[in-house]
Every structure is written in structure tokens, then in C-alpha cells.
Amino acid sequence: MSDGMYVGMTAMSSRERELEAIADNLANADTPGFKANMYAFETFFPDGADGNMASVATVDAGLDHRMGLIRQTGNPLDVIPAGENYFQVEMKNGDMGFTRNGHLTVQPDGTLTIAGNPVMSEGGSPIVMPPDAPVRISADGTVWSGDNRIEQLGTYSLEGELERVSASIVKAKNGESEMADNRVRVGEIELSNISALEASVDMMHTQRLFDHAVQAVQTYRKIDDRAIQIGKV
């Protein structure tokens, strides 16, 4: 394989990964609490290559922590944790995850959930409401049933780099989380931090770069084939 073809194929692979990240962002533009995938590029020298043949690869740069747009809903079960904090939820496999999606729902058995996952109290247990009870959340994160205090929503700050578990659930790569300010904003929901317009423009630009890389590989393949044919003469 020629050096030029190797560089072209590396570029194809990098742009393909970038396209996948952008597509995931676009698909979740309307997902509450979704944090955008970020990507970056690094230069490396393939094994056996001299200093004149550098390649560029796409690397996972983690998630964009920035807050998404805020939508006022007036729904008393829509809440946003203070600052950059997260709610803790118990996932289907029993592991704990964290989310900025504060669209709360009461299940038939009274369990308070986010996207079907039980939301944890500050004590680390699921919050269960009395049957057919009215639910409200106060600004300090207290969960009420009428005038009866049920529990306190647990909120956490996450340290270091985050990794995605599902569309709106993340965890800290180093596993570090700390209890945080329990205050919440009630009647509001945090949307994704994706600009669908910007992501669409990025998609078109990256697709063009991918197409250029494909054309480069095809050109180098023709050159290699031609060189082989000449060598047979």
C-alpha cells in the first residue's frame, strides 16, 4: 500500500467517526439533558514511516458540559438541578447513572422516575409516592405529597471527564461524584446543548471531506494499479 493511499484511508476512517458523532448529536437534538459528543484530531506517525508522512486521526474528546437551552413548561414535575449538578438515577442493570434530564414521571406503583429510571433521593434510595397522591417539588429539592414531605431529591457534582451511558445518562470516567446543592428550578426543562443548524452544517462539511478522502484513495489505487501494469511490461 502506498503512503498516499494509507493517509487517504486514515482520513476516511477519521471522517467516518466524525460523521457518526455528528449524526448522534443531530438524532438527540430534542432529547432533554443530552450533552453533545465532541471530537478532535491528533497527528501521528505510522510505524515505519519517516517524519514526512504524518497522518491525522479523529479522537474522542468526551462530552460538551455546557448547559442546554431552557424551556419553561409550567409542569410542576419538570425540574433542573442547580448549576452544573446532576440527578442520580438507577438504571435497568442496577448501576447508577447521572442526568440533567429533569422530566419526572410517577409510575403506577408510585415510583418517581426519569425516562423510566427511578430517581434517587439524597439518601440514595428510590423515591416512592403514596397512591394517587398529588406531587410537587419545592425549590430546595423537597418532594411533597400535599403538605406531607416525602423525600429530598439527590443532586451531585461530577468530577473530571464524563462518558455517555445512554442518550441523557452519563457517569464520571473516574467514578467520582459528590453530593451537591439540592436546589432546583421548577417548571422548566433543560434541552440538549445541540444547535441543529450548526450540526447540520458540520455534517455537510464533514461529508465533503469524507468524499474527498474517498476520491484520493481511488486515485492512489489507480496509480498503484498503473505502476503494477508498467512493471509487468
> In which element (H, E) is residue 21 found?
helix 3-27
Chain length of the chain? 233
Q: Which comes out higher in pLDDT, residue 203 or 127?
A: 127
Q: If pLDDT is split at 50, 70 and 90, which confidence band does 61 have?
A: low
Torsion angle of the four alpha carbons 159, 162, 167, 169, in this order, in degrees rounded to the nearest 10: -30
pLDDT at 10: 77
The predicted model gives 174-194 an average pLDDT of: 90
pLDDT at 222: 76
Q: Is the pLDDT of residue 119 over 70?
A: yes
Residue keyed to cell 437534538 = 29
What is the dihedral sign for C-alpha 98, 101, 104, 107?
Answer: negative
Cell of 154: 439527590
The predicted model gives 150-155 an average pLDDT of: 96
Q: If pLDDT is split at 50, 70 and 90, which confidence band does 57 have?
A: low
Q: E strands of 64-173, at which residues?
A: 70-72, 79-81, 86-90, 96-99, 104-106, 112-114, 117-118, 135-137, 142-145, 148-152, 155-158, 162-164, 169-172
8 A C-beta contact, residue 39 and residue 25: no
Measure the CA–CA gap between 148 and 135, rounded to whole angstroms: 10
Q: What 8-state DSSP symbol labels residue 211?
A: H
- Residue ranges of domains in the chain: 3-66+193-232, 70-190
Measure the CA–CA gap between 160 and 176, rounded to whole angstroms: 8
8 A C-beta contact, residue 32 and residue 101: yes
8 A C-beta contact, residue 90 and residue 118: yes
pLDDT at 116: 95
The pTM (predicted TM-score) of the whole model is 0.77
Q: If pLDDT is split at 50, 70 and 90, which confidence band does 141 have?
A: very high
Residue keyed to cell 489507480 = 222
pLDDT in tens, 71-114: 999 999 999 999 999 999 999 999 999 999 999 999 999 999 99
pLDDT at 6: 66
Spacing of C-alpha 177 from chain mean position: 18
Q: If pLDDT is split at 50, 70 and 90, which confidence band does 46 have?
A: low
